[in-house]
Structure 1
Amino acid sequence: MAAAAQQPITYTLSFPNAVHHEADIKVVFAELPAGLFSVRMARSSPGRYALHEFAKNIYKVKAYNSVGQEITLTRPNPHQWDIPSHDGTVTITYTLFGDRADGTYNGISEEHVHLNMPATLMYGLGLDNRARLVQFNLPAGKNWQIATQLKKETTPNTYTAPHLQYLMDSPVEISDLKFSEWQLPAQNKTIRIALHTQAGDKAFADYTTKAKKVVAEAGAVFGQFPDYDFNSYTFLACYGPQAVGDGMEHRNSTFITSSQPLENNVNTHLSTFSHEYFHSWNVERIRPKSLEPFNYAEANMSGELWFAEGFTNYYGDLVLCRSGVNTVTEYAQNISAELNHVLNSPGHQYFSPVQMSYQAPFVDAAQSIDPVNRVNTYISYYPFGSVIGLALDLTLRTRFKIITLDTYMQAIWRKHGQPEIPYTLTDLENILGSVTRDPEFAQAFFQQHIYGLKLADYKFLLAQAGFLLRPVNPNKASLGLTLLNFRNNAAVIQTGTLVGSPLYQAGLDREDVIQTIAGKKINSYNDLAAALAAHKPGDRVNITYTPRVGASKETIVTLIPDPQLEAVPYETAGLPLTKQMKAFRASWLSSKVKSGRK
């Protein structure tokens, strides 16, 4: 006879003091084995790779036995509470504070409740495989509804999760929500948008219409949609002053937040929408082995984020173009921004894409107060991986003709995504060799561009599709890409100067104050622009400045051409667009939903 299933761990969430951003939470752990029982708050959250120490936002923690008597709690470390003895049932109560509605933290107010579960719920050690039941006590007098990927039960406002990992991966938005949903063609799958916004019906209808195109185009990349648990996928979107700009992927849902309203920002918000939805394949099911299982007690480091996040970033923009949400010119502008970020950063001389991915625990919404040199040594794995995706896609199309990055992604999906077998870097290289039938090409690409520091020839690759990569202002003199803060009639260098830039070569650094350039006083941006406009690249000019410590100094700086780049269509640049270029561009950027072409 099979053993009876253990009672689920039950959470009850109430919001009597939402006006002050508090929630009351009760957790009941039943059928516990005798001896020490420990509960924790998570230190990290799926989709984030740094530590966030969520225990800092809970207080009034108490524990009770099965008959309601308070029992002893001890605290061996900042994120754990121990119950030395109990009678088999432990009830924990605590107050949660949350006033940052984004993909990582919580936002609790009289307007809505926005919950990321690792930042919300305690969990018991050794109970990961226990089922969970979550009950929400909603405030009276509000037209609030609940949106989540958790399984809805027949009891009102009650949801379940099969185990800890699914619970922690299931965000919740509670408010006066607007809903839209549709069925995927010929599939028993529902796509749902749950939107917290003050936007009118017209803006929401526009958003939904374009969202449908984005969803369809993303599915066309892989040729099929994932098997969503409970046959549905939900976008939990919150647009308004109570939110902070963010996006966070989950297995069957995603959080999208922004302080900007929906009106007049539909396409901007769909950029995050597109990126996060692509994650339902890449990251949620095509999953790095280094992130399995996700560790809620430590930072999670992965060398694959250039692919998991970066290739998703590449496709987020590409899908917007293929779906018609963005024009070809707008897509070129997105490419330009990412190429500038990567090509003009010294960071690619320090770390490979794999090594940049390892930096995530230090940079992914991580906090530190000491100055760092990341302006020189770091490039985000988002744009870094995105331009690698661009390079690989265009290289495949140029060299192998009928093989594209879509072909590669489909092969990875079949081998690792559909069966949900986590992958390694070696797996990615081997699949590229298999798809191209050229293992030597795959090995060289990975050695040079993934493990190594070599950048692709983007000017050549973009030219195949009739895009010109060129300097924006080749005749404009520049001090380089140094961030200046104009305050109190002074030009203060805000960050470290870039390695190799004129100011770096001249010995200027963070918090130095530039006083004059070529004898002209620099009190504002207009003063700086006027001083530089009087010169050309290659000119040597005197600069006087006051270092952070010490007396005023004078030095000579050699001006360089403005390093900013842009990718523009040949026809915009006045160059002939050949039939071959036009066909290449159409094959790359046209919709795949109608044609089925890759």
Structure 2
Amino acid sequence: MHHFLGRLAPFAPYLVSFLTLGVVGLSAQQAPRYEAIIDVRQVTQDRLPVTVFVPKIDRDEVTWIFPATIPGTYESQRWWRFVSDFRAIGKDGKLLNVRRSTDSQFVISGARNLQAVTYLVDDSFDERDPDRDLFPPGGTSFEADSVFVFNHAGIIGYIEGIQKADFQVKVTRPKELYGASALGIARMNDTVDVYHVQSYDQLIDNPVMWSRPDTASFSVAGATVTVALIHPGKDSWAKAYAKDLERTTKAIGRFLPRMPVGRYAFLLYLWGGDTTTIHPRRQLYGALEHSYCSFYVMPATPTPRGLSDIASHEFLHILMPLNLHSEEIESFDFRSPKMSKHLWLYEGVTEYFAHLALLRDSAISEEDFFREFQGKIHGSASIPEKFSLTTFSKNVLTPENQELYGNIYTYGALNALFLDVVLRESSKGQTGLLELIYDLMLSYGPSKPFKDDELFDEIEKRTNSAVRAYLDTHVEGDRRLPMADMFAKIGMSFRQIDTIKAWTYGFTAKFGAQGMELFPEGHNGFDIVEGDKLRKIDGVSIMIAKEDAWRKLMDPKKAESITITVDRQGQEVELKTTARYTDKQVRNSLRPDPQASAEAMALRHAVLRGTRSH
């Protein structure tokens, strides 16, 4: 033992974790699995030591992989950038040679003798370097003795070619912290948690967070739903959040023909300025879906603000991609990602269903529904004149398509609505998009993917030539969506430019890479300078502004005054004005057509309500 300890002397930062399971790692070396050992109490300056014992290796050289990206984020993450002091340790305790590959991964020589790897990882949540500024819900956070967020891509890697082996993760933590996840976590004692997955893909699919416990649960359509929160202070907020989420998920439960999962977890990091010196260069808040959970970074408020709209989308990912996905997602290439062509399905259809479910449950009105989709038309302004959804999806990681990514929730959702119209019209109202998805789910599932190039063939087999023609023209093809024609089919009048009498402050807005950009229009009551970026509404950050404040700004109903704060070339400027009732030129006007035929109204009913009216 002393001889072995002497050889481990260079690994002082990892000594505690390495020895904690040294005997287990050595004795279990023949088992086809990885064993990760992490003691979060050892975090120093937001750097966490990690030790991973490896399966038996029959090659002289292997490459240790940290993901370039993961499913669901569609951003270039390159997690190896957060790794330092990477070392490979042989079974005799000696260091093995490690070099970097051309794509910055870790190449280990003498791998037949490899026992374990050790390294330090930085967290991404409060990263100061703009080149390492990642989408927070897909990131990592280490706040000593209080908060630990493990999105495992930023914690644990794997040996290339041994992606499907089991992983066991042992985490030693302060006894007052509670681990929350969709996984079953075994609490071995007051300070040790252990969890197990059957592949690296499953590990990536299951984030874990540790914090002071604040949880609640409820049931929806036979599924057990857990809500776990991280937030400042000691009061319990979980019940208020669970109440809001229960209302949303039960609406979805009534929308779906059957609930496809038996369990689900909402994991929420309610950020209260814990790292107040950090100023991320882009939006901090959002959510990331996983198969049996979703992870959120939201403002720290005792009651939820704007959660239900986001949660309805994330929860509906229990359909796609969990139960309907391609081979590219089933066996994801974390080193050199091969993206699926069908982001329009995974995100666009999911976003459409999120609003359709609320409409069918009477949580929103048809007026609300079409107002939302009018906003999505506005939000699709950056789409090129020729645009193929499948080509965009296949190449989503390119810089130019990263700039266009937000359109999958706007243009993609509009495409889903129009596909639903075509399905209902061509089946005389009997079959819609939801029915098609469930039909496809009968043939595929969580562990049975479809072939990317064969999906449209499978859809045509279940539908008709009109549906295939639409997919070939507007999804695979690059012809823009026929807005006016499609809305007319369901009794709605669409005009690119329309003039109406309305209350207005005299500006327009669009979302860009830097957030919501404002542009003067008409009387320009605010004296807006083109390119001003909205930061506050009546003194409240747009990140936490309530729906009423947004409605007052974007759709005033009387001569009310309002104050906004904008970022003008790096300086905050406060602007104030009062709404005027005047002629307003409206882009992308969408209104019910008073001359709509009975057939169009029946088709609208079939699409929005799921049945044809009588």
Please state which band the TM-score falls in when normalised by the shorter chain: 0.7 to 0.9
The answer to whether the Cα contact below 8 Å between 1:356 and 1:380 also exists between their aligned partners in 2 is: no
Q: Match of 1:139, as an amino acid?
A: P
- Which residue of the other structure, out of 564, 567, 575, is the alignment partner of 2:587? 564
**Which residue of 2 is the match for residue 115 of structure 1?**
150
Offset of residue 295 of structure 1: 0.6
2 CA distance for matches of 1:233 and 1:364?
35
1:310-349, Cα deviation, whole Å (9 max, x unpaired): 111111222233344444433222211112223x4451x2
The answer to whether the Cα contact below 8 Å between 2:392 and 2:401 also exists between their aligned partners in 1 is: no
The answer to whether the Cα contact below 8 Å between 2:140 and 2:150 also exists between their aligned partners in 1 is: yes
Partner SS state of residue 127, structure 1: coil
Offset of residue 56 of structure 1: 0.8
* 1:547-562 → structure 2 map (5 Å cutoff): 562=585
- Which residue of the other structure, out of 404, 407, 413, is the alignment partner of 1:386? 413
Q: Match of 1:160, as an amino acid?
A: H
Q: Does 1:415 align with 2:443?
A: yes
**Which residue of 1 is the match for residue 378 of structure 2?**
340
1:346-402, Cα deviation, whole Å (9 max, x unpaired): 51x222222222341125996xxxxxxx68xx8722322210111122333344222
2 CA distance for matches of 1:84 and 1:49?
32
Q: Does 1:271 align with 2:283?
A: no
The answer to whether the Cα contact below 8 Å between 1:213 and 1:323 also exists between their aligned partners in 2 is: no
1 CA distance for matches of 2:400 and 2:220?
34
**Which residue of 2 is the match for residue 194 of structure 1?**
228
1 CA distance for matches of 2:288 and 2:165?
25
Change (3 A) 1:200 1:392: farther
Offset of residue 115 of structure 1: 1.6
Q: Does 1:239 align with 2:270?
A: yes
- Which residue of the other structure, out of 18, 41, 53, is the alignment partner of 2:66? 41
* 1:84-483 → structure 2 map (5 Å cutoff): 84-85=109-110, 88-100=113-125, 102-110=136-144, 111-140=146-175, 143-153=176-186, 155=188, 156-185=192-221, 187=222, 189-198=223-232, 204-226=238-260, 228=261, 231-241=262-272, 244-259=284-299, 261=301, 263=303, 265=305, 268-342=306-380, 344-345=381-382, 347=384, 349-362=385-398, 380-399=407-426, 400-417=428-445, 420-431=448-459, 433-436=460-463, 438=464, 440-459=465-484, 461-462=486-487, 467-470=492-495, 474=499
The answer to whether the Cα contact below 8 Å between 1:42 and 1:53 also exists between their aligned partners in 2 is: yes
Offset of residue 122 of structure 1: 2.1
Change (3 A) 1:356 1:233: same
1 CA distance for matches of 2:612 and 2:169?
43
Offset of residue 278 of structure 1: 1.3
1:514-547, Cα deviation, whole Å (9 max, x unpaired): xxxxxxxxx99999x99xx9xx9xxxxxxxxxxx
Change (3 A) 1:138 1:107: same
Change (3 A) 1:462 1:214: farther
Q: Match of 1:451, as an amino acid?
A: E
The answer to whether the Cα contact below 8 Å between 2:422 and 2:466 also exists between their aligned partners in 1 is: no
Offset of residue 89 of structure 1: 4.5
Partner SS state of residue 41, structure 2: coil
Q: Gaps spanning 5+ residues in structure 1: where?
A: 367-373, 496-512, 514-522, 537-560
1 CA distance for matches of 2:495 and 2:401?
33
The answer to whether the Cα contact below 8 Å between 2:178 and 2:213 also exists between their aligned partners in 1 is: yes
Query: TM-score when scaled to structure 1?
Result: 0.73
Percent of aligned pairs sharing the same letter: 16
2 CA distance for matches of 1:401 and 1:492?
46
**Which residue of 1 is the match for residue 34 of structure 2?**
9
Partner SS state of residue 180, structure 1: strand
1:195-254, Cα deviation, whole Å (9 max, x unpaired): 22359989644532342343344345552222x5xx532222222245932222222222
- Structure number with the bigger relative contact order (C-alpha 8 A, sep ≥ 6) is 1
Offset of residue 106 of structure 1: 1.0
The answer to whether the Cα contact below 8 Å between 1:15 and 1:138 also exists between their aligned partners in 2 is: yes
Offset of residue 93 of structure 1: 1.8
Q: Match of 2:418, as an amino acid?
A: A
2 CA distance for matches of 1:524 and 1:50?
34
**Which residue of 1 is the match for residue 564 of structure 2?**
none
2 CA distance for matches of 1:139 and 1:119?
21
Q: Match of 2:470, as an amino acid?
A: F
1 CA distance for matches of 2:455 and 2:245?
33
Offset of residue 76 of structure 1: 3.4
The answer to whether the Cα contact below 8 Å between 1:222 and 1:410 also exists between their aligned partners in 2 is: no
* 1:31-70 → structure 2 map (5 Å cutoff): 31-33=56-58, 35-66=60-91, 68-70=93-95
1:85-109, Cα deviation, whole Å (9 max, x unpaired): 3674522221111141723221211
Change (3 A) 1:222 1:411: farther
1 CA distance for matches of 2:424 and 2:330?
33
2 CA distance for matches of 1:389 and 1:201?
42
Q: Match of 1:150, as an amino acid?
A: L
Task: Give the CA RMSD over aligned residues.
Answer: 4.2
1:170-193, Cα deviation, whole Å (9 max, x unpaired): 2111112422223444x4x42222
2 CA distance for matches of 1:90 and 1:84?
12
Partner SS state of residue 248, structure 1: strand
Aligned residues: 508
Query: TM-score when scaled to structure 2?
Result: 0.71
Partner SS state of residue 255, structure 1: strand
